[in-house]
Amino acid sequence: MEDVLSISKVSKHFKSFILNNININIKENCITGFLGKNGTGKTTLIKIILGLVHKDEGEIHYFSNPNLNKKDIKDRLGVVLDEGYFYDNLTLNEMKDLVSSTYTNWNNKKYENYIKRFKLDGKQLISSLSKGMKMKYALALALSHNADLLIMDEPTSGLDPEVRKELMQILSEYVQQDGKSVFFSTHITSDLEQVADEIIIINNGEILEQVSKDELLEEYRLIKGNNEILEKLNKSDLSLINKTNYGFSAITNKYEKIRKEFPEIIIERTNLNEIFLAKTEVY
């Protein structure tokens, strides 16, 4: 698999925040989830990728081709941002006419198909759209100019489960096409658990890890036992410790070692949300 996006040693300094020495890569035919709490640098990095914020240091290479100009890069990126950036007084089709004029490979048939699929009305004013409908419209625009990399910043935030499920299905279909990829920023771990192939975790402006989602889910377990066992365990091996009068539960990647020492311990599979919190919470 080739890299469609490669970021090396990228930093951005603000008065109260630093995006520090970012090194990640996005592979083709892959949904990469970009996971972090609000305010940890997700949107800043996406804006740097899109050229909306200037980086202070580092290199970004698009589609394994250092010779691409800005217009070539723009044509191959599809963008869905939480803010929307639409003119509320225009209809969907009027806004589409503005957007389509900026792309070389606009496909109006694709646009019409997505509008129909999402049950949108091209004559409808953008101001009349719900948040979910606006997100579907943004996705229709992003997918209608044959982009190779779809970049999404918090696309499912505030949406109901049905709309989120529909969007996840669209992303899964999209990456089945040759050479298509998704970079998907969110703090909603359940969405990534459904569709992501790789996970990138950012915290306080630094990348904690880039790893296969399946490997990450396999690395950690939820353990349960009585409080006598907890007192004997090395607390540095545990995260998200929840203790009651009846026993404890915790997240750990040392579960095999703990199992050998305490065969009576209960070990269960965990989920991406608990793993994420275990990696980012401070105890």
Please report the pLDDT score of residue 84 as a whole number. Answer: 65
Q: 192 and 88, same structural domain?
A: yes
Residue 192 has pLDDT above 80, yes or no: yes
pLDDT above 90 covers a percentage of the chain that reads: 80
Indicate which CATH number applies to the domain containing 100: 3.40.50.300
Please report the pLDDT score of residue 224 as a whole number. Answer: 97
Domain of 275 in residue numbering reads as 220-280
Q: 151 and 11, same structural domain?
A: yes
Q: 98 and 58, same structural domain?
A: yes
Please report the pLDDT score of residue 267 as a whole number. Answer: 98
Please report the pLDDT score of residue 185 as a whole number. Answer: 92
Mean pLDDT of 261-273: 96
Q: Which of these three, 213, 235, 267, is where a domain ends?
A: 213
Please report the pLDDT score of residue 283 as a whole number. Answer: 39
Q: 95 and 25, same structural domain?
A: yes
Q: pLDDT for 227-265, tens place per residue?
A: 999 999 999 999 999 999 999 999 999 999 999 999 999
Residue 83 pLDDT level (bands cut at 50, 70, 90)? low
Rounded mean pLDDT of the chain? 92
Residue 282 has pLDDT above 80, yes or no: no
Q: 251 and 137, same structural domain?
A: no
pLDDT above 70 covers a percentage of the chain that reads: 99
Q: 194 and 239, same structural domain?
A: no
Please report the pLDDT score of residue 256 as a whole number. Answer: 96
Indicate which CATH number applies to the domain containing 226: 3.30.70
Least confident of 60-69, 158-167, 169-178, 259-268: 158-167
Q: 160 and 82, same structural domain?
A: yes
Mean pLDDT of 161-166: 84
Q: 70 and 201, same structural domain?
A: yes
Residue 115 has pLDDT above 80, yes or no: yes
Q: 276 and 186, same structural domain?
A: no
Q: 209 and 258, same structural domain?
A: no
Domain total in the chain: 2
Q: Which of these three, 193, 213, 233, is where a domain ends?
A: 213
Please report the pLDDT score of residue 156 as a whole number. Answer: 78
Q: 100 and 17, same structural domain?
A: yes
- Per-residue HEC secondary structure of the chain comes to CCEEEEEEEEEEECCCCEEEEEEEEEECCCEEEEECCCCCCHHHHHHHHCCCCCCCEEEEEECCCCCCCHHHHHHHEEEEECCCCCCCCCEHHHHHHHHHCCCCCCCHHHHHHHHHHCCCCCCCEHHHCCHHHHHHHHHHHHCCCCCCEEEEECCCCCCCHHHHHHHHHHHHHHCCCCCCEEEEEECCHHHHHHHCCEEEEEECCEEEEEEEHHHHHHHCEEEEECHHHHHHCCHHHCEEEEEECCEEEEEECCHHHHHHHCCCCEEEECCHHHHHHHHHCCC
